[in-house]
Homo-oligomer: A and B are copies of this chain.
Amino acid sequence: MATTGGKNSSGAGDPARTLELLWRDSAAAPAARRGPRQGLTVDAVVDAALALADGGGLDALTMRAVAQRLGVTPMTLYTYVPGKSELLDLMLDAVFLRMDRPPFGPEQPWRDRVTSVADANRALHLRHPWLVDLRIVRAPLGPGVMAKYEYELAAFEGLGLDDVARDSALTFVLGSVQAGARAELDARAVERESAMSDGEWWAAHEPLLARVFDGARFPLASRVGEAAAVAYGGLYDAEHAYAFALARVLDGLAALGTP
């Protein structure tokens, strides 16, 4: 087990400053600034941070590492960004903004649309594993967050939902996807870190687990646990879990329209 226990709190900073950054309010600052020209841009900082986090997770994202990647001193970053939490805000908005948003066809059934939203979000989380470790306390309302929200709400057209229910439905879908992605990423991480596949691990410690699979004490758990393990070849089958969850989510939403 691992945590992501950290300071890293946000929303703490001045929200006005954060919003300026998110929308890259060059208008807010005078066109001609005084001292030396800046050698970098906010985007460069964000991109460097993204490269680090995408590759090595939030653990690899340190201000020192970002600075080194950009060839500057750590403290230089604070000229571009008020702190690490604001940098995370910017990273989040950036990956949201860059998501593909193919327009929905007017004839496309809502199940297809919601499925494609779910698929896109799963892919997003797998490409940016640090996303699941982010605690989005007060969503940074940047262009990416807004564009994503706007687009994804449209997927629920034709379900007969009022506005409030539509927001709830989207939250519900995204929550399910995120939960699945989290489990999947955790499973991947453990294989990488222990250099041992799930199956190998289980085999290696089978003797110790005799009491766990004690059919007398835990009849259901041992039976179902083993059935699941056998079905997936000893591995947690993320693909299967995702397909199952998505089907349930869609059916659950469908039941809204047919009371």
Contacts and interface: CB of A to CB of B under 8 A. Distances in A.
In order of increasing CB-CB distance, the 10 nearest A-B pairs are A4-B4, A175-B179, A252-B252, A248-B252, A5-B58, A163-B227, A251-B255, A137-B190, A1-B10, A150-B221
A167 B228 CA distance: 7
A160 interface: no
A138 B1 contact: yes
A241 B166 CA distance: 12
Q: Is the interface of A mostly helix, strand, loop or mixed?
A: helix
A1 to B, nearest CB: 4
A4 B133 contact: yes
Contact of A241 (B168, B219, B241): B168
B240 A248 contact: no
Given A146-B221, A179-B178, A255-B254, A134 B3 contact: yes
Interface residues of A, number: 95
Contacts of A136: 1, 186
A6 interface: yes
Interface string A57-70: 11101000000000
A56 to B, nearest CB: 11
Contacts of A193: 9, 11-12, 137
Contact of A187 (B137, B149, B153): B137
Contacts of A147: 218
Given A12-B193, A224-B166, A228-B163, A85 B208 contact: no
A162 to B, nearest CB: 8
Nearest to A15: B205
A16 B205 contact: yes
Contacts of A201: 15, 138
A58 B187 contact: no
B223 A163 contact: yes
Given A16-B208, A167-B225, A218-B146, A140 B255 contact: no
A50 to B, nearest CB: 14
A74 to B, nearest CB: 17
